[in-house]
Structure 1
Amino acid sequence: MKPHFFSLLIAGIIGLLPLHAQIPATTAKMNAFVSGLMSKMTLEEKIGQLNLLTPGGGVATGAVVSADVETKISKGQVGGLFGVIGVEKIRKAQQLAVSRSRLKIPLLFGSDVIHGYKTTFPIPLGLSCSWDMALIEHSARLAGIEASADGLCWVYSPMVDIARDPRWGRVAEGSGEDVYLGSKIAAAMVRGYQGDDLAANNTVMACVKHFALYGAAEAGRDYNTTDMSRIKMYEYYLPPYKAAIDAGAGSVMTSFNEIDGIPATANKWLMTDLLRKQWGFKGFVVTDYTAINEMMAHGMGNLQTVSALALNAGVDMDMVGEGYLTTLPLSLQQHKVTQRQIDDACRRILEAKYKLGLFEDPYRYCDDNRAGQEILSADKKKAARELGARSCVLLKNSQQVLPLKKSGTIALIGPLANNKNNMLGTWAVNGDPQAAVPILEGIKSAVGNSAKILFAKGANISDDSVFAKKVNVFGERIDIDPASAEQLRAEAVATANKADVIVAVVGEASEMSGEAASRSDIGLPGSQQQLLRALAQTGKPLVVVLMSGRPLTLTTENDLATALLEVWFPGIEAGNAVADLLFGHYNPSGKLTMSFPRNVGQIPIYYNHKNTGRPQGDGPTEKFHSNYLDVANDPLFPFGYGLSYTSFKYDHLKLDKATVGLKDKMDVSFTLTNTGAYAGEEIVQLYLRDKEATIARPVKELKDFKKIRLEPGENKTIHFTVDKEKLSYFNSNLQWMADPGMFEIMIGSSSADIRLKSEFELR
Structure 2
Amino acid sequence: MNRVIFFVCTILPVIVSCTSHEPDKAKTADYLNPNLPLEHRVDDLLARMTLEEKVSQMMNQSPAIPRLGIEEYNWWSEGLHGVARAGIATVFPQAIGLAAMWDRQALYDVATAISDEARAKHHAFAAKGKRNLYQGLTLWSPNINLFRDPRWGRGQETYGEDPYLTGELAVQFIRGLQGDDPRYLKTVATVKHFAVHSGPEPQRHHFNAVTGNKDLYESYLPMFEKGIKQGGAYSLMCAYNRYNGKAACGSDLLLRDVLRRDWDFSGFVVSDCGAIEDIHAHHKLTENGAQSAALAVKSGTDLNCGKVYQSLTEAVKAGMLTEEQLDISLARLLRARFKLGMFDPADMVPYQHIPYSVVDSEKHRQLALQAAQKSIVLLKNDKQTLPLSKELKKIAVIGPNADEWLMLLGNYNGVPAAPVTPVAGIKQKLGQNTQILTAQGSDLAEGIPVFSTVPAGVLQQTSTKAGLHARFFNNIDLSGQPLFEQDMPQLAVNWRDRAPRSDMDDDHFSVSWETELVPQKDGEYQLGVITTCNTQLWLDGKLIADTPYHFRNEYGDPRLRKSTRLALKAGLHYKIKVTAIETYADAQVELVWAPPQQSMQQQAVDIASQADAVVLVMGLTARMEGEEMEVKTPGFNGGDRTSLALPYPQQELIKAVSATGKPVVLVLLNGSALAVNWADKHVNAIVEAWYPGQAAGQAIADVLFGDYNPAGRLPVTFYHSVKDLPGFDDYHFSTQTYRYFTQQPLYPFGYGLSYSQFAYSELNLPRQLKAGQSFEVKVKLKNTSAIAGDEVAQLYISPVLHQTGQPLRSLKGFQRIRLQPGEQQTLTFTLSERDFVQYNPQGEAQLVSGDYLISVGGGQPDVLRATRSNVVQQRLTIIE
* TM tier, smaller: 0.7 to 0.9
Aligned twin of 1:136: 107
Structure 1 residues 370, 32: closer, same or farther in 2, change over 3 A?
closer
SS at structure 2 position matched to 1:318: coil
1:649 aligns with 2:759: yes
Structure 2 letter corresponding to 1:424: L
1:310 pairs, out of 286, 296, 301, with: 296
1:488 aligns with 2:612: no
1:608-627 maps to which residues of 2 (within 5 A)? 608-610=738-740
1:684 aligns with 2:780: no
RMSD over aligned Cα atoms: 2.8
Equivalent pairs counted in the alignment come to 669
How far the C-alpha of 1:195 sits from its partner, in A, is 0.9
Q: Deviations over 1:76-127 (max 9, x none)?
A: xx26xxxxxxxxxxxxxxxxx37x4555255354311110122110010110
Q: Deviations over 1:292-346 (max 9, x none)?
A: 01222111222122111111211111112x1111x11221122111111111111
Aligned twin of 1:390: 374
SS at structure 2 position matched to 1:176: coil
| Structure-1 separation of matches of 2:374 and 2:235 | 30
| Structure-2 separation of matches of 1:41 and 1:388 | 49
Aligned twin of 2:420: 437
1:148-227 maps to which residues of 2 (within 5 A)? 148-151=119-122, 152-197=136-181, 203-215=186-198, 217=199, 222-223=204-205, 224-227=207-210
How far the C-alpha of 1:438 sits from its partner, in A, is 1.0
| Structure-2 separation of matches of 1:724 and 1:543 | 45
SS at structure 1 position matched to 2:807: coil
| Structure-2 separation of matches of 1:471 and 1:162 | 34
Aligned twin of 1:560: 682
1:756 aligns with 2:872: yes
SS at structure 2 position matched to 1:721: strand
Aligned twin of 1:147: 118
1:329 aligns with 2:313: yes
Higher RCO, 1 vs 2 (CA within 8 Å, ≥6 residues apart): 2
| Structure-2 separation of matches of 1:529 and 1:608 | 26
| Structure-2 separation of matches of 1:559 and 1:401 | 14
| Structure-1 separation of matches of 2:801 and 2:611 | 59
Q: Deviations over 1:146-171 (max 9, x none)?
A: 01111131110111101211110111
Structure 1 letter corresponding to 2:875: E
SS at structure 2 position matched to 1:122: coil
SS at structure 1 position matched to 2:368: helix
Structure 1 residues 658, 119: closer, same or farther in 2, change over 3 A?
same
Structure 1 letter corresponding to 2:770: G
Query: Is the contact between residue 607 and residue 638 of structure 1 (CA under 8 Å) also seen in structure 2?
Result: no
Aligned twin of 1:427: 412
Structure 1 residues 476, 103: closer, same or farther in 2, change over 3 A?
closer
| Structure-1 separation of matches of 2:686 and 2:381 | 7
Structure 2 letter corresponding to 1:110: W
SS at structure 1 position matched to 2:148: coil
| Structure-2 separation of matches of 1:198 and 1:665 | 30
1:402 pairs, out of 386, 393, 403, with: 386
Aligned twin of 2:710: 588
Aligned twin of 1:242: 225
1:506 aligns with 2:618: yes
Aligned twin of 1:674: 783
Q: Deviations over 1:643-701 (max 9, x none)?
A: 1112222233333x222322444333333222233211111111112346997421111
Structure 1 residues 524, 696: closer, same or farther in 2, change over 3 A?
closer
How far the C-alpha of 1:252 sits from its partner, in A, is 0.9
Structure 1 residues 148, 33: closer, same or farther in 2, change over 3 A?
same
How far the C-alpha of 1:26 sits from its partner, in A, is 9.1
Q: Deviations over 1:394-429 (max 9, x none)?
A: 10001111111111221111111111121111111x
Query: Is the contact between residue 208 and residue 244 of structure 2 (CA under 8 Å) also seen in structure 1?
Result: no
| Structure-1 separation of matches of 2:821 and 2:178 | 39
SS at structure 1 position matched to 2:37: helix
1:270 aligns with 2:386: no
Structure 1 letter corresponding to 2:249: T
SS at structure 1 position matched to 2:610: coil
How far the C-alpha of 1:179 sits from its partner, in A, is 0.8
1:42 aligns with 2:50: yes
Structure 2 letter corresponding to 1:743: Y
Structure 2 letter corresponding to 1:490: Q
1:703-742 maps to which residues of 2 (within 5 A)? 703-742=812-851
How far the C-alpha of 1:482 sits from its partner, in A, is 2.3
Aligned twin of 1:639: 749
2:70 pairs, out of 96, 104, 107, with: 104
1:547 aligns with 2:663: no
SS at structure 2 position matched to 1:760: strand
Structure 1 residues 694, 736: closer, same or farther in 2, change over 3 A?
farther
How far the C-alpha of 1:716 sits from its partner, in A, is 2.6
Structure with bigger strand share is: 2
Structure 1 residues 457, 696: closer, same or farther in 2, change over 3 A?
closer
Structure with bigger helix share is: 1
Structure 1 letter corresponding to 2:595: P
SS at structure 2 position matched to 1:510: coil
How far the C-alpha of 1:567 sits from its partner, in A, is 0.1
| Structure-1 separation of matches of 2:600 and 2:180 | 54
Aligned twin of 1:381: 365
| Percent identity of equivalent pairs | 33
SS at structure 1 position matched to 2:752: coil
Structure 1 residues 339, 27: closer, same or farther in 2, change over 3 A?
farther
Unaligned runs of 5+ in 1: 1-24, 54-77, 80-96, 617-632
How far the C-alpha of 1:285 sits from its partner, in A, is 0.8
SS at structure 2 position matched to 1:702: strand
Query: Is the contact between residue 204 and residue 240 of structure 2 (CA under 8 Å) also seen in structure 1?
Result: no
Structure 1 letter corresponding to 2:289: L
How far the C-alpha of 1:475 sits from its partner, in A, is 2.3
| Structure-2 separation of matches of 1:131 and 1:711 | 19
Structure 1 residues 165, 739: closer, same or farther in 2, change over 3 A?
closer
Structure 1 residues 694, 334: closer, same or farther in 2, change over 3 A?
farther
